[in-house]
């Protein structure tokens, strides 16, 4: 008997290759936050993008985006929807993940000014400060040059954003704020297959960061 379903050793990319599909499948963690905006941006960047809120949906993606939103809410819902352990396992197995704003907090090994019961995925060896740039009324926009992203500086939108206060030896700093009182603060990082930004590229219409991540997922797959 020939088994055509996906076994434990079959990657999503293997199945798509058999079907002649080349676009990487990238999920957006759809528990809370800017889900639709990320799905649209990923689709525009060449991915097969879809919302993910159940372990079975996570099983068939090559990469994952953790969107901006409220990190404490995402943390709680990750437990309610039984997504924490599956995401931890996929990260440990090398699945590329991109976190924006709250997603950066969820990927951090250490969070300052977070709730005591707040838990993330601790994939990137960095310390972030939650709401470091201030409250909602302190939201701002600023140009940020991103290493590996060609062209003019990225028009970054910061909304109750964190910043990075410490990075480990294996973490590459991709971008810093270059203007204003927060000049020099780290707002974009990468550690291997994990990428995080303090800001919201999904709100800008500029697809360069999403293309960067799609290329990373395609290379990993």
How do residues 112-135 score in pLDDT, each as one tens digit?
987 877 889 999 999 999 888 766
Single out the catalytic residue among 37, 193, 202, 210: 202
196: its two tokens: 């995080």
Single out the catalytic residue among 37, 101, 193, 210.
Answer: 101
Asked if residue 199 belongs to a domain, the reply is: yes
Which residues have CB under 8 Å from 200's CB, separation 6+?
34, 37, 68, 100, 101, 156, 157, 158, 159
Dump the DSSP string for 147-189.
TT--SSPEEEEESS--EEEEE-TTPEEEEE--SSTTTT-EEEE
Domain count, the chain: 1
In a domain, 10, yes or no: no
In terms of C-beta density within 10 A (0-12 exposed, 13-18 middle, 19 or more buried), how is residue 117 classed? exposed
pTM, full prediction: 0.88
Kindly state whether residue 18 falls inside one of the protein's structural domains. no
- Catalytic residue status for 101: yes
185 domain-assigned: yes
What residues does 65 pair with on adjacent strands? 28, 98
d(CA 13, CA 47): 12
Q: Per-residue pLDDT for 58 more than 50?
A: yes
Residue 15 placed within a domain: no
For residue 20, the tally of other CB atoms under 10 A from its CB is 6
The pLDDT of residue 216 is above 60? yes
> Looking at residues 96-115, what average pLDDT do you find?
94
DSSP 11: -
User: For residue 84, what pLDDT band results from cuts at 50, 70 and 90?
Assistant: very high
Higher pLDDT, 50 or 132: 50
Dist. CA 112–CA 185, nearest whole Å: 15
CATH number at residue 75: 3.40.50.880
191 in a domain, yes or no?
A: yes
What is the pLDDT averaged over residues 23-28? Answer: 97
Given 37, 38, 193, 200, which residue is catalytic? 200
Per the prediction, the chain carries an average pLDDT of 88
Rounded to 5 degrees, φ, ψ at 25 are: -90, 120
Check residue 79 and give its pLDDT: 95
Is 200 annotated as catalytic?
yes
Supply the DSSP string of 73-95, one letter for each residue. Answer: HHHHHHHHTT-HHHHHHHHHTT-
Is 9 within the bounds of a domain?
no
- The stretch 187-207 carries a mean pLDDT of 96
For residue 16, being part of any structural domain is answered with: no
**Strands 163-167 vs 124-129: parallel, antiparallel or unpaired:** antiparallel
Contacts of 75 by beta carbon, 8 Å cutoff, 6+ apart: 106, 117, 118, 119, 120
* Full residue range of the structural domain in which residue 173 is found: 23-220
Q: Give the model's pLDDT for residue 2.
A: 28
Element (H, E) at 210: helix 208-220
């Amino acid at each position: 008997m020939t088994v055509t379903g996906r076994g434990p050793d079959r990657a999503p990319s293997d199945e798509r290759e058999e079907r002649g599909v080349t676009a990487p499948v990238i999920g957006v963690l759809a528990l809370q936050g800017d889900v639709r905006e990320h799905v649209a941006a990923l689709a525009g960047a060449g991915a097969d993008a879809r919302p993910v809120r159940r372990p079975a949906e996570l099983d068939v993606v090559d990469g994952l985006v953790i969107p901006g939103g409220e990190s404490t809410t995402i943390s709680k819902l990750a437990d309610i929807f039984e997504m924490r352990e599956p995401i931890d396992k996929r990260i440990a197995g090398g699945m590329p993940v991109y976190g924006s704003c709250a997603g950066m907090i969820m990927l951090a090994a250490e969070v300052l000014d977070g709730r005591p019961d707040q838990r993330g995925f601790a994939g990137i060896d960095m310390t972030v400060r939650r709401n470091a740039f201030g409250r909602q009324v302190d939201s701002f926009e600023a140009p940020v040059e991103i290493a590996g992203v060609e062209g003019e500086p990225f028009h970054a939108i910061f909304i109750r954003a964190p910043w990075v206060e410490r990075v480990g030896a294996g973490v590459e700093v991709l971008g810093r704020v270059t203007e204003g009182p927060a000049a020099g603060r780290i707002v974009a990082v990468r550690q291997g297959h994990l990428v995080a930004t303090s800001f919201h590229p999904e709100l800008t219409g500029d697809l360069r960061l999403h293309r960067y991540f799609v290329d990373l997922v395609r290379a990993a797959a």
